[in-house]
Each structure stands twice: as structure tokens, then as C-alpha cells.
């Protein structure tokens, strides 16, 4: 924690609030503090913890226990054993049962369950993901895709960890394209059994958590075939190993994936099946059933809608990763900003005192822009979690609600996971060599979170799903519009396009600004202007692609696919812009909940930094499409730099509000050790100078000699 000496000269101080659980010192207000905004850290922490604050606190307390922490440098075989043992600690502490039925010892609490799960990344990402495999995927599949008999038979053992299990969906040859997986489950009416079979090597189930060692059973996704008809992908409960010997059962085999780039506490592996027979009752038949005679039935007539409904019940994986990635970003920024407030380097503005890293503009750019994005991602993640809870609790569980949830999760998970990887790397570099040490966790966390970008849905593929939804909504708007209305709309769009593309709008902006940088900056920083710019970009990009693809569904399949492919990059870019807008809107909505004026002022600066950073990243689009004049475009970077200066005195408050203690950070450079080293060095040189015994710097001698040489003679 920095003291007043570490704040920029002449900067206002911020009153530092105390956390009830771990009191923090309060800085003494300086002469200008009365006129400066102050952050209510405790209230801001509560806002960030969100609806399930008590659950998050309990999960963090558990995650702070040493017996759950990752031991760096441990061989992967030992790491696996440690993590499996840690799962039992979670069971003993009731940390993993919230989402299961009340009658089986759960709480039917879906949002709180995910909120607690997200915090486990603090302890060890391997523990979090292995717990996610056991209870969030394997257990959740039985819970949501099975029926009452399945629940009674298997959920107690899954909840207690007596049945460690796998979620066997992904195949070597098909990852994101689940509909095309090749494993089959063919019904044999003569024996009332399904025959699960892997027809070729590419159909092996791959990268499956718990498959290499621990899994006794699996929920296997396969093409359900009965009476010669393929009814698409369904889920089946398949026993894998003998509980006593831990050997594979007949017809089942597999391999260990071995050491990975991260998450080595999880025994990922491959599974394959050779004519493995399972009872008919092992079909998880909530959405599709096969009678004894082989007759197939489903409450959902459309095969496509049935498939997406089944997969939609498993959206909590994406919701969980979204929040966990945000938590990892918060950990990294708390450590990096704490260190940057203490570490000194170069004496640019003083002959004796070195500068604090956090006072350098470039350092602020590196960290504060990512801090702003993390806040935006955090507020958006909370909205996603609340939407998830509404759907799974049944309070808002229509088809439209589920589609909205799927789209929101597909939009936010890519942004938060990519942002976490970027933030961990930038924080690592911002801490220099110290950041590369495993003891400070940046490198370890980044390695473990690397796979977040491609599992539970590859990020790029997810954004394509979002883009398709945006196109569908765009088309729906005009499906019933008559020709006259559509013609007027097209004329309006053409007029707008003409203004944008000829630069007339840019000229109008320049005239309105009257050449004044100050007026241009005021226009850019305005909330309504930011919303208009961010929204306009999304709408324009979707409209342009929608127009280009109009009629594609009437073309022959090959031509239609080629046309879509030629606009794929634009689609994904539009989806990302849409997701960024969602984050900006979530941040803005959160501001409306802040009652303390000082906190609201500082958070508004941070929200503006996020919005303007998005605009700055896409200035070329705004300029090429005539949305910004050159005059206003030039002010974006300058105003961002002004925001950095405003945010600087409050940086520690903003990361303290994340609510992490030393047991959560576990980073040596965040302990205050650097401050002690710097203070010792400064005191040493002060004492040396005061004694008069300090050696004279050669540069000073040369300067004196040069001065005497140039001095005029009498």
C-alpha cells in the first residue's frame, strides 16, 4: 500500500477505507483532499462482489487456505494427486453442492453455485477446472439432461465424489462442431441396450478431464441411432472403470494426454469404445427417449432446436469461465499496480530521487486501460450470471430467454478470457524480471488460463455464433416491413452513408468544434457520444454484412457458403464490437448504482477510459466511415492521457476494492517487500549525502571542469 510520498507531486490524496475482515491504514488527507473525489473502497468492493457477495466471500475464504493452493514446480503426477485430494476438501466444506436438487442435499441455487466456483481460480486453476469437470460438467449433465431416476441413482455418488466422472463430448476430429461428432450409440431392441462405438481414430474422445486416471464413469455424447434413423447427438451415462482395480472395463480403452501447457493438476486423456453395451435406461432422456421397441420420441420436434436445447443446458461452463477470467485479471492488476506504486526507476525529475513506476505515463497506459476493461468485464459478468440464474431457476425460462443467455455467454466469454491472457502478460512485463518469477504467479496463471480461450467453446467460433444471432435479429426487423417503409429506410441509409463517406459529417463536426481541441474533447468524453459511437459501429457493421448476405439462403449450398465465408471476418469483428458495447453498457448501468459522489466520479473516469480506449483502438474505422472528424480523432489520445492523470491517485483504491488479501495474491512483490527495499536504499543515499563522505560523481567533476574552462578571464 502506497503512502503519500508515492503519489504524484501535487496530487490530491484519497481517503482509504477499511475492510471489515482485514483493516487497512487510512491515508491522512492532504491540503487539496477536500476538493478531490475520494473512493469508498468498502462500498465499491460490495458492488463488485455483486448479488452473491456472501457466497463469494465464503469461497474466497476457502480458496485462501494453504491446503488448496497450487504448489509451483510440482511434477504433474504429484500435482494430479494433490488436486484430487483437494476435491474432497471442497466436498467436506459443502462448496460444490449448491446447484443440485434440494432433495439430494443441494440447494437448487445456480447463480450462487457459479459465483463460488469462479473464485476457486484464486487457489489453483487446476482445482477449479477439475471441480468444474466433476460437478459443473459431468454432474450437471446428469442433473439437467437426465430425469428423476438418473438423479437418484447417480447424483449422490457424483456429489460425494464416490463417482469421479468425465464429460466426454469433444473428439479429436471435432471440437467446436459438436453436431458432427462420430461416436455412435446404436439401439439394439433385442437386448434393450445401446451399443456405443468409436468407428475410427478421429472419433476418439479427446482432452477429457478425469479420463486418464480418476474417472469411473462418463457422460458420453454420441449420435443416437435407432430403427435405422440417426436422431442426432444425445448424452449417455457410461461406466468406464472397475471401482476396485481402476482398470478399464471391457471394450473401453484410452490414453493419457500427458503434460500440457498448463492445468497439469488435471488428468486429461483420450477415450474410445469398441461395441460397448449399456442399458437403455442409461440414455439421459430429458429431451429424447427410446422405448423398449426402439421407438424414438422427444418433447421437441425440431432436431436442430432439440440439439441446441440440450447443449444450452450446459452453458454454465462458459458463464463460469467468464467470471474466473475476470478474477484472474483482478489478481494480476492488484499485484502489478501495488508493485508499480513502490518500485522506483530512473531519476528523471530529481537529481536524487528515482521515479515511482506508476507515475510514468506509459506505465499508466499499460495498466489503467486494462484496469478499466476489467471493471467493465466484471460488471458485464455479473449481468451474465444474473441472467443465467434467472433461466436456470425457472424465473425467466422461455426459449427467447435461453437464446439470449446463450448469445450473451458466447459474446462475453471470448472477451474476458482473451483479456485475462493479455492482462497477465502485460502485468508480467510491467513488473520486469520479478514478473517472470513463478513466485509472483503471472507466468503460472497465464499458462493455466491459456486454454480458457479454446475450451467450453473456441472464442472465435463463439463470436461467429453471436454474429449469426445479430444477423438473424437484423433480418427479423425487416421480415414484415412493407415495401414503402423499407424503401424509405434504404433511402435514409443511403443518405447517411453519403454523408459519412463524403466526409460531410466530418466537416460538420469540425465546424461545430470551431477548431477547438477543448470542445472536441468535451464532445468525445460525453456519455451519450460514447454510446452513439460504439452503438453506431455495431449497427453499421451488421447492416453492411446483412445487406451483402441478403438472399444467400436462396443460393445453392456451395455458393451460399462461399458468400458467407467471404464476409466471415467482418461478422466476427461486428460480434466483438457488440460484446464490447455490452461491457460498456454494463459499466454505465453499474455507475447508476453508486451513491457516493466521489466513487461515482472516479468510476466515471474509469468508464470513460474504457469507452475512449475502444474508440481509439478503432479510430481507422471511425475515420474511414466518416463518424469522426480528424479534429475530434486527434483529441481521443490526449483526453485518455488526461484521464490517466486523474485516475492515478485512486489506482490503489480501485484495486483494493477487489477485496483480495495476501492469502489470495500470494505474490512476493505484492507484500510490501519492494517498499522496504526502496526505502532502505533511499535512506542509505540520504545518509551518505548528509555525511559529506559520499563519493563525487565523475559526471559532476567533468561538468565543473567544463565550466571552469568556459569561464571568462578577467
The string of pLDDT tens digits covering residues 244-265 is 999 999 999 999 999 999 999 9
Residue 179's pLDDT is 92
Residue 714's pLDDT is 52
Residue 498's pLDDT is 46
Q: Are 111 and 388 in contact (CB under 8 A)?
A: yes
Q: What's the half-sphere exposure (Cβ side, CA atoms, 13 Å) at 341?
A: 26
- Would the pLDDT of 564 be above 50? yes
Average confidence (pLDDT) over 387-406: 91
Would the CA dihedral through 52, 53, 54, 55 be positive or negative? positive
Q: What share of the chain is helix, strand, coil (3-state, %, to 5)?
A: 60, 10, 30
Q: Does 315-689 carry CATH code 1.20.140.10?
A: yes
- pLDDT tens-digit profile of 691-701? 888 887 787 78
How deeply is 560 buried, as exposed, middle or buried, from its count of CB atoms within 10 A (0-12, 13-18, 19+)? Answer: middle
Residue 689's pLDDT is 80
- Would the pLDDT of 204 be above 50? yes
In whole angstroms, give the CA distance from residue 534 to residue 616. 11
- Would the pLDDT of 101 be above 50? yes
- Would the pLDDT of 612 be above 70? yes
> Could you tell me the pLDDT band of residue 478, with boundaries at 50, 70 and 90?
low
Percent of the chain past pLDDT 70, that is, above it, reads 88
Number of Cβ within a 10 Å radius of residue 642: 14
- Would the pLDDT of 147 be above 80? yes
Q: What CA–CA distances, in Å, run from 513 to 96, 509, 517, 519?
A: 58, 6, 7, 6
Residue 549's pLDDT is 87
Residue 685's pLDDT is 80
Average confidence (pLDDT) over 615-619: 95
- Would the pLDDT of 504 be above 70? no
Residue 123's pLDDT is 97
Find all residues with CB under 8 Å of 244, minimum gap 6, and list them: none
Angle formed at CA 332 by CA 330 and CA 335, multiple of 5 degrees: 105
Q: Going by DSSP bridges, is the β-strand pair 217-226/165-168 parallel, antiparallel, or unpaired?
A: parallel
> Could you tell me the pLDDT band of residue 509, with boundaries at 50, 70 and 90?
low
Find all residues with CB under 8 Å of 701, minimum gap 6, and list them: none
Residue 10's pLDDT is 35
- pLDDT tens-digit profile of 282-338? 999 999 999 999 999 999 999 989 998 888 877 999 999 999 999 999 999 999 999
- Would the pLDDT of 384 be above 80? yes
Q: Are 224 and 197 in contact (CB under 8 A)?
A: no
Average confidence (pLDDT) over 452-468: 93
Q: Are 252 and 205 in contact (CB under 8 A)?
A: no
- Would the pLDDT of 519 be above 70? no
Average confidence (pLDDT) over 54-75: 96
- Would the pLDDT of 122 be above 70? yes
Q: Going by DSSP bridges, is the β-strand pair 165-168/184-188 parallel, antiparallel, or unpaired?
A: unpaired
- Would the pLDDT of 342 be above 90? no
The least confident of 21-35, 179-193, 336-350, 469-483 is: 21-35
Q: Are 271 and 244 in contact (CB under 8 A)?
A: no
Q: Are 265 and 68 in contact (CB under 8 A)?
A: no
Average confidence (pLDDT) over 190-196: 98
Residue 17's pLDDT is 38
Q: What is the mean pLDDT of the chain?
A: 88
Residue 450's pLDDT is 97
Q: What's the half-sphere exposure (Cβ side, CA atoms, 13 Å) at 235?
A: 33
The least confident of 267-271, 448-452, 529-533 is: 529-533
Find all residues with CB under 8 Å of 486, minimum gap 6, and list them: 478
pTM above 0.75, yes or no: yes
> Could you tell me the pLDDT band of residue 25, with boundaries at 50, 70 and 90?
very low
Q: Which residue has the higher pLDDT, 684 or 69?
A: 69
Cα distance from N-terminal residue to C-terminal residue, the chain = 58
Number of Cβ within a 10 Å radius of residue 274: 12
Angle formed at CA 526 by CA 523 and CA 529, multiple of 5 degrees: 75
For 67-312, CATH gives 2.40.110.10
Rounded to 10 degrees, what is the CA torsion of 566, 569, 571, 573?
-160
Domain residue limits, the chain: 67-312, 315-689
Amino acid at each position: 500500500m502506497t503512502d503519500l510520498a508515492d503519489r504524484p507531486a501535487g496530487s490530491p490524496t484519497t481517503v482509504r477505507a477499511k475492510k471489515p475482515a482485514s483493516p487497512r491504514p487510512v491515508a491522512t488527507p492532504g491540503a487539496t483532499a477536500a476538493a478531490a473525489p475520494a473512493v469508498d473502497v468498502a462500498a465499491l468492493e460490495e458492488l463488485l462482489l455483486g448479488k452473491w457477495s456472501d457466497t463469494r466471500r465464503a469461497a474466497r475464504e476457502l480458496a485462501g487456505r494453504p491446503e488448496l493452493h497450487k504448489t509451483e514446480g510440482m511434477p504433474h503426477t504429484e500435482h494430479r494427486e494433490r488436486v484430487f485430494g483437494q476435491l474432497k476438501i471442497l466436498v467436506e466444506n459443502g462448496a460444490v453442492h449448491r446447484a443440485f436438487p434440494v432433495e439430494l442435499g443441494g440447494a437448487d441455487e445456480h447463480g450462487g453455485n457459479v459465483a463460488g466456483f469462479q473464485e476457486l481460480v484464486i487457489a489453483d486453476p487446476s482445482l477449479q477446472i477439475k471441480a468444474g469437470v466433476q460437478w459443473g460438467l459431468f454432474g450437471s449433465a446428469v442433473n439437467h439432461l437426465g430425469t428423476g431416476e438418473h438423479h437418484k441413482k447417480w447424483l449422490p455418488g457424483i456429489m460425494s465424489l464416490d463417482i469421479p466422472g468425465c464429460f466426454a463430448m469433444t473428439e479429436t476430429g471435432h471440437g467446436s462442431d459438436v453436431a458432427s461428432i462420430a461416436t455412435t450409440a446404436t439401439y439394439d431392441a433385442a437386448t434393450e441396450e445401446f451399443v456405443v462405438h468409436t468407428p475410427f481414430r478421429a472419433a476418439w474422445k479427446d482432452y477429457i478431464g478425469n479420463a486418464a486416471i480418476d474417472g469411473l464413469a462418463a457422460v458420453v455424447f454420441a449420435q443416437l441411432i435407432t430403427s435405422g434413423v440417426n436422431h442426432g447427438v444425445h448424452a449417455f451415462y457410461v461406466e468406464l472403470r472397475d471401482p476396485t482395480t481402476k482398470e478399464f472395463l471391457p471394450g473401453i480403452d484410452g490414453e493419457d494426454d500427458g503434460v500440457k501447457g498448463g492445468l497439469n493438476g488435471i488428468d486429461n486423456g483420450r477415450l474410445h469404445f469398441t461395441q460397448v453395451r449399456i442399458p437403455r435406461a442409461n440414455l439421459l432422456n430429458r429431451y429424447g427417449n427410446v422405448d423398449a421397441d426402439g421407438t424414438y420420441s422427444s418433447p421437441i420436434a425440431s432436431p436442430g432446436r432439440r440439439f441446441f436445447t440440450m447443449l444450452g443446458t450446459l452453458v454454465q461452463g462458459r458463464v463460469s469461465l467468464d467470471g474466473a477470467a475476470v478474477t484472474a485479471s483482478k489478481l494480476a492488476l492488484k499485484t502489478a499496480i501495488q508493485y508499480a506504486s513502490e518500485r522506483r526507476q530512473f531519476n528523471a525529475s530529481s537529481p536524487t530521487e528515482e521515479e515511482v513506476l506508476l507515475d510514468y505515463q506509459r506505465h499508466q497506459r499499460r495498466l489503467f486501460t486494462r484496469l478499466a476493461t476489467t471493471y467493465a468485464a466484471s460488471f458485464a459478468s455479473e449481468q451474465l450470471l444474473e441472467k443465467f440464474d434467472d433461466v436456470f431457476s425457472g424465473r425467466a425460462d422461455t426459449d427467447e430467454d435461453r437464446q439470449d443467455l446463450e448469445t450473451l455467454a458466447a459474446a462475453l466469454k471470448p472477451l474476458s478470457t482473451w483479456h485475462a491472457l493479455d492482462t497477465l502478460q502485460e502485468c508480467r512485463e510491467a513488473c520486469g524480471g520479478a514478473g517472470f518469477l513463478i513466485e509472483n504467479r503471472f507466468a503460472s496463471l497465464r499458462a493455466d488460463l491459456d486454454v480458457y480461450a479454446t475450451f467450453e467453446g473456441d472464442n472465435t467460433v463463439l463470436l461467429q455464433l453471436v454474429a449469426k444471432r445479430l444477423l438473424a435479429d437484423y433480418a427479423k426487423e425487416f421480415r414484415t416491413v412493407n415495401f414503402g417503409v423499407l424503401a424509405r429506410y434504404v433511402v435514409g441509409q443511403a443518405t447517411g452513408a453519403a454523408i459519412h463517406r463524403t466526409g460531410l459529417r466530418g466537416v460538420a463536426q469540425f465546424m461545430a468544434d470551431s477548431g477547438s481541441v477543448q470542445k472536441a474533447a468535451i464532445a468525445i468524453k460525453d456519455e451519450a457520444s460514447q454510446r452513439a459511437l460504439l452503438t453506431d459501429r455495431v449497427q453499421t457493421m451488421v447492416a453492411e454484412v446483412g445487406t451483402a448476405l441478403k438472399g444467400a439462403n436462396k443460393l445453392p449450398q456451395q455458393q451460399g457458403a462461399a458468400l458467407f465465408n467471404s464476409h466471415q471476418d467482418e461478422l466476427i469483428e461486428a460480434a466483438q464490437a457488440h460484446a464490447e458495447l455490452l461491457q460498456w453498457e454494463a459499466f454505465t448501468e453499474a455507475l447508476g448504482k453508486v451513491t457516493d459522489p466521489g466513487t461515482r466520479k472516479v468510476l466515471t473516469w474509469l468508464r470513460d477510459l474504457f469507452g475512449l480506449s475502444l474508440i481509439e483502438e478503432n479510430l481507422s474505422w471511425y475515420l474511414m466511415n466518416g463518424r469522426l472528424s480528424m479534429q475530434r480523432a486527434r483529441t481521443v489520445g490526449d483526453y485518455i492521457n488526461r484521464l490517466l492523470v486523474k485516475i492515478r491517485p485512486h489506482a490503489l483504491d480501485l484495486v483494493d476494492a477487489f477485496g483480495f488479501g495476501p492469502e489470495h495474491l500470494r505474490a512476493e512483490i505484492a507484500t510490501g517487500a519492494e517498499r522496504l527495499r526502496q526505502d532502505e536504499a533511499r535512506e542509505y543515499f540520504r545518509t551518505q549525502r548528509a555525511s559529506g563522505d559520499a563519493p563525487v560523481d565523475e559526471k559532476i567533476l567533468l561538468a565543473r571542469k567544463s565550466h571552469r574552462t568556459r569561464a571568462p578571464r578577467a
